[in-house]
Chains A and B, each alone.
Chain A
Amino acid sequence: MGLETKPLSTLHEVSSYSVEDFPVPTGREEEWRFTPLSRLKGLHNGTAAGTGAVVVDVDAAPEVTVETVARDDARLGKAYVPADRVSAQAFTSFEKATVLTVPRMTAASRPTVVNVRGAGAGAAYGHILVTLEPMAEAVLVLDHRGSAVYADNVEFVVGDGATLKVVSLQDWDDDAVHVSHHHASLGKDATFRSFVVTLGGDLVRLSPSVSYTAPGGDADLTGLYFVDAGQHLEHRLLVEHTVPNCRSNVTYKGALQGDEAHAVWIGDVIIRAEAEGTDTYELNRNLILTDGARADSVPNLEILTGEVAGAGHASASGRLDDEHLFYLQARGIPFDEARRLVVHGFFAQLIDRIEVPEIRERVLSAVEAELAR
């Protein structure tokens, strides 16, 4: 493929396993311009030495194989090549990787929970590989808690006809820094459902991406975030349609409250010339609850073929609607309760999509707690 057919939004991109191939970001680069580099605690410039202060432990369904493997395991990095400096730093620096495998034609009988616990002191790097062999089915929960300075890469390899549903909860302590890439590679007729919930942490920058290796892949990427005073929560989505007849849907919604609450959402969807019959839609909405909060939302849809089944994007950031509040208050509902109902309503349809009931309840009560602040 010549340069002229390469999507504009990827022209700058370098992919490499080696951290030396990426210059230290200055903040002027398109992909770093929203991120406060000074708060990354050195994850981006090589000064954050790994001390392994993050513990990964897995509570797996009986059908799922769990391995802890060394860096040189040949399976690692097959699905995803790091596309930025922190990702490459994580790939160069992790000591052990966690590998989960769901065998061919096997349906996991219960969700598998990967607990990622930050124990404070120092930086840590991680790598997780989740492989669903053809026709396998599984539900996975990535549960991030504690205090950490953590960079990792997570690879999801979803085989032909397989279905993977992932809930990733970023429920860190207030001082945590987390930079993460989640990449899903979808085989023929594979189904991928990602539900990202980001609530805690000083700075979280999560980049979920999807690629397709054969037709019929179907990806839903859903996200919910609640940004409080001083927090920087950034989600950078990339869906690359390179084969025909695949589907993607991205829906991210966030609420922000408090001084210096900052949400960033970047949604890149690329439909390459060969990806005829693609059906895609992406949406981001931000609800700004107080003064002093800021949401940056940048949807970007690049279509290089004339033959799409559907392609669209939407982005809107706004305050609570006074008319909604007036209507509820005119029925006697006090302001705080009216506000709670409207914010609940804003998130309700998303939360209903969470596959795991316990996680659904936890997210609901977390939203409640945020509103009670």
Chain B
Amino acid sequence: MSTLEIRDLHVSVGDKEILRGVDLKVSSGETHAIMGPNGSGKSTLAYAVAGHPKYTITSGSVLLDGEDLLSMSVDERARAGLFLAMQYPVEVPGVSVSNFLRSAITAVRGEAPKLREFAKDLKAGMDALSIDPAFAQRNTNEGFSGGEKKRHEILQLELLKPKIAVLDETDSGLDVDALRVVSEGINRFRSREDTGVLLITHYTRILRYVTPDFVHVFAGGRVVEEGGPELAEKLEAEGYEAYTKASA
């Protein structure tokens, strides 16, 4: 049983406060959707929790199974069991997917995977996400289409087996087929024991494939409404207008 607990989190970029007191608790077995208009601070939450240097935590705490994530380096957070699927995965020139994944698995597990086992897992993972096996030898994310990058993020999610996954707009830029493949990957991850998901999205489209247990509406840097899956349906029908006005 794992829990990610965010308490009264305030985050700034430069002088500008983006998050203004976020409280959120994600436990294993749960899927939480964070929905909100552009600029509401959803991605800031994801990157701040992962430890991106651009974001300054001004107050509040983030705990993973009681451990203080904010005092850890970016890589320590990942090894503690946090995973961030990025909205814009980074191209890393000269570092092959295979080399990158093996280094990441080695770091997270604390020992290098056996080569044969790694090759088998990688192939199975790529097959399940309809990724061309030739991608293993390509440079990480370099020249990948938007959809290929997102599949590659989910491949990492499945191979690294974190406790809590934060998925930042993983659905953006995907066509229907890719959305289905990626959603299946997320569902495989959810069906494992001891995993929780925090799914950040602008649109309700992905929620037809990945049903959330809880929906939080984000506006003006904080959670303004919470509910079950029915809240997503309401947003689908009415949009964010009511919230953007309220927070303005």
Q: Flag if B90 contacts A324 (CB, 8 Å).
A: yes
Q: Flag if A331 contacts B93 (CB, 8 Å).
A: no
Q: Flag if B92 contacts A345 (CB, 8 Å).
A: yes
Whether A329 sits at the interface, judged by CB under 8 Å, is yes
Q: Flag if A329 contacts B93 (CB, 8 Å).
A: no
Which of the residues A322, A326, A327, A334 comes within 8 Å of B107, measured between beta carbons?
A: A334
Query: With the chains together, A347 CA to B94 CA distance in Å?
Result: 8
Which of the residues B74, B139, B140, B156 comes within 8 Å of A329, measured between beta carbons?
A: B74
Q: Flag if A331 contacts B104 (CB, 8 Å).
A: yes
Closest to B95 in A: A345
Closest to B90 in A: A327
- Chain A 319-343 interface mask (CB, 8 Å, partner B; 1/0): 0001110111111111101100110
CB-CB < 8 A to B135: which residues of A?
none
What's the nearest-Cβ distance from chain B to residue A335, in Å?
A: 7
CB-CB < 8 A to B84: which residues of A?
330
A329-B73 contact in complex given A341-B100, A342-B95, C-beta closer than 8 Å: yes
Whether A346 sits at the interface, judged by CB under 8 Å, is yes
Query: With the chains together, A6 CA to B52 CA distance in Å?
Result: 54
Whether A14 sits at the interface, judged by CB under 8 Å, is no
A345-B94 contact in complex given A329-B78, A333-B75, C-beta closer than 8 Å: yes
Q: Flag if A346 contacts B78 (CB, 8 Å).
A: no
Whether B50 sits at the interface, judged by CB under 8 Å, is yes
A348-B75 contact in complex given A330-B50, A331-B156, A341-B99, C-beta closer than 8 Å: no
**Max chain A CB contacts within 10 Å: which of B53, B104, B108, B160?**
B104
Whether B138 sits at the interface, judged by CB under 8 Å, is no
Q: Flag if A333 contacts B104 (CB, 8 Å).
A: yes
What's the nearest-Cβ distance from chain A to residue B62, in Å?
A: 15
Q: Flag if B104 contacts A332 (CB, 8 Å).
A: yes
Which of the residues A327, A333, A337, A348 comes within 8 Å of B89, measured between beta carbons?
A: A327
Q: Flag if B95 contacts A341 (CB, 8 Å).
A: yes
Query: With the chains together, A243 CA to B89 CA distance in Å?
Result: 47
- Chain A 18-54 interface mask (CB, 8 Å, partner B; 1/0): 0000000000000000000000000000000000000
Whether A117 sits at the interface, judged by CB under 8 Å, is no
CB-CB < 8 A to A337: which residues of B?
103, 107
Interface size on B, residues (CB 8 A): 28
Q: Find residues 330-373 in chain A having any chain B CB closer than 8 Å to their own CB.
A: 330-335, 337-338, 341-342, 344-349
CB-CB < 8 A to A333: which residues of B?
75, 103-104, 107
Q: Flag if B75 contacts A335 (CB, 8 Å).
A: yes
Query: With the chains together, A334 CA to B103 CA distance in Å?
Result: 10
- Chain B 198-236 interface mask (CB, 8 Å, partner A; 1/0): 000000000000000000000000000000000000000
Q: Find residues 59-83 in chain B having any chain A CB closer than 8 Å to their own CB.
A: 73-75, 77-79
Q: Flag if A328 contacts B108 (CB, 8 Å).
A: no
**Max chain B CB contacts within 10 Å: which of A323, A330, A338, A345?**
A330
Which of the residues B51, B52, B94, B107 comes within 8 Å of A331, measured between beta carbons?
A: B107
Q: Flag if B108 contacts A331 (CB, 8 Å).
A: yes
Q: Flag if A332 contacts B53 (CB, 8 Å).
A: no
Q: Flag if B160 contacts A332 (CB, 8 Å).
A: yes
Closest to A325 in B: B74
Query: With the chains together, A337 CA to B89 CA distance in Å?
Result: 19
Query: With the chains together, A341 CA to B50 CA distance in Å?
Result: 21
CB-CB < 8 A to A347: which residues of B?
94
Q: Flag if A342 contacts B92 (CB, 8 Å).
A: yes
Query: With the chains together, A332 CA to B90 CA distance in Å?
Result: 15
Whether B178 sits at the interface, judged by CB under 8 Å, is no
Which of the residues B77, B78, B103 comes within 8 Å of A341, measured between beta carbons?
A: B103
A324-B108 contact in complex given A332-B160, A341-B99, A341-B100, C-beta closer than 8 Å: no
CB-CB < 8 A to A324: which residues of B?
90, 92
Query: With the chains together, A345 CA to B141 CA distance in Å?
Result: 13
Which of the residues A322, A327, A335 comes within 8 Å of B92, measured between beta carbons?
A: A327
Query: With the chains together, A337 CA to B75 CA distance in Å?
Result: 11
Q: Flag if B90 contacts A323 (CB, 8 Å).
A: yes
Whether B86 sits at the interface, judged by CB under 8 Å, is yes
Query: With the chains together, A329 CA to B75 CA distance in Å?
Result: 4
Query: With the chains together, A234 CA to B244 CA distance in Å?
Result: 58
Query: With the chains together, A347 CA to B139 CA distance in Å?
Result: 13
What's the nearest-Cβ distance from chain B to residue A372, in Å?
A: 16
Query: With the chains together, A323 CA to B88 CA distance in Å?
Result: 11
CB-CB < 8 A to A335: which residues of B?
73, 75
What's the nearest-Cβ distance from chain B to residue A188, in Å?
A: 36
Q: Mark B residues whose CB is within 8 Å of A.
A: 50-53, 73-75, 77-79, 84, 86, 89-90, 92-95, 99-100, 103-104, 107-108, 139-140, 156, 160
- Given A327-B89, A330-B75, 16 other A-B contacts at CB below 8 A? A322-B53, A324-B92, A326-B52, A327-B90, A327-B140, A328-B104, A330-B74, A330-B78, A330-B86, A331-B108, A332-B78, A335-B75, A341-B99, A344-B95, A347-B94, A348-B94
Q: Mark A residues whose CB is within 8 Å of B.
A: 322-324, 326-335, 337-338, 341-342, 344-349
Return the 8 tightest CB-CB contacts between A and B, nearest first.
A345-B94, A332-B78, A331-B104, A327-B90, A329-B74, A332-B107, A332-B108, A329-B75
Q: List 20 A-B contacts (CB under 8 A).
A: A326-B90, A327-B92, A328-B92, A329-B74, A330-B51, A330-B84, A331-B100, A331-B103, A331-B104, A331-B156, A332-B78, A333-B75, A333-B104, A333-B107, A334-B107, A335-B75, A337-B103, A345-B139, A346-B94, A349-B94
